[in-house]
Structures are given as structure tokens and as C-alpha cells.
């Protein structure tokens, strides 16, 4: 059986990787949102700009589910780590 300390370390590394991926995705979404404009293009000259804005909005919307999943995974791992750490502390007490 694997010692609890090694398990905690492995879970901490997994949590760090997931949280780093989450932060990267949030930064990417933030940069996309800075390029998003709240304008309506009414003439033919603005059609390409309107299409570009639709693509940016579609990318932002596609990031929603992965970000939610990463947040959930990060929180769950953190709760599991805290629970194991407390259990180990009470066991050794």
C-alpha cells in the first residue's frame, strides 16, 4: 500500500496541473474578450468585421464548458486533499 504522504503529493501535483490549465484558459478567454466589441455593423464594409466578431464570440462560448469542468475538478481535488490531510492528522493525533 502506498503511504498517504505520497498520495497527497500526487494529488497536489494533479491539482496544480489542473489549476494551471484553468488559469491559462481564463487568461485566454480574457484576451478574447478584450477583442470582442459591442457594435452592430450595418453596411457591407463591416461584414468581415462582423464575421470576425461572431467567431470571437463562438470561441468564448466554446470555452465555457471546459472552464466549468476544470473549476469543478480543481475544487473537488482540493477538498479531497484537505480531507486526506485532516484524516492523516487525526489518525496521528
Residues 21-55 pLDDT 10s: 999 999 999 999 887 776 666 667 677 777 888 89
CB 49 within 8 A of CB 41: yes
Q: What is the pLDDT of residues 67-90, one digit of tens each?
A: 999 999 999 999 999 999 999 888
Q: Is the pTM of this model over 0.75?
A: yes
CA angle 39–43–45, rounded 5-degree value:
95
Amino acid at each position: 500500500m502506498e503511504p498517504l504522504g505520497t498520495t497527497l503529493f500526487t494529488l497536489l501535483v494533479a491539482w496544480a496541473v489542473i489549476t494551471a490549465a484553468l488559469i491559462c484558459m481564463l487568461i485566454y478567454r480574457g484576451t478574447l474578450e478584450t477583442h470582442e466589441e459591442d457594435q452592430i455593423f450595418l453596411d457591407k464594409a463591416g461584414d468581415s468585421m462582423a464575421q470576425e466578431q461572431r467567431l470571437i464570440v463562438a470561441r468564448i462560448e466554446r470555452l465555457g464548458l471546459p472552464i466549468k469542468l476544470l473549476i469543478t475538478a480543481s475544487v473537488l481535488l482540493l477538498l479531497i486533499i484537505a480531507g486526506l490531510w485532516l484524516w492523516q492528522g487525526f489518525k496521528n493525533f
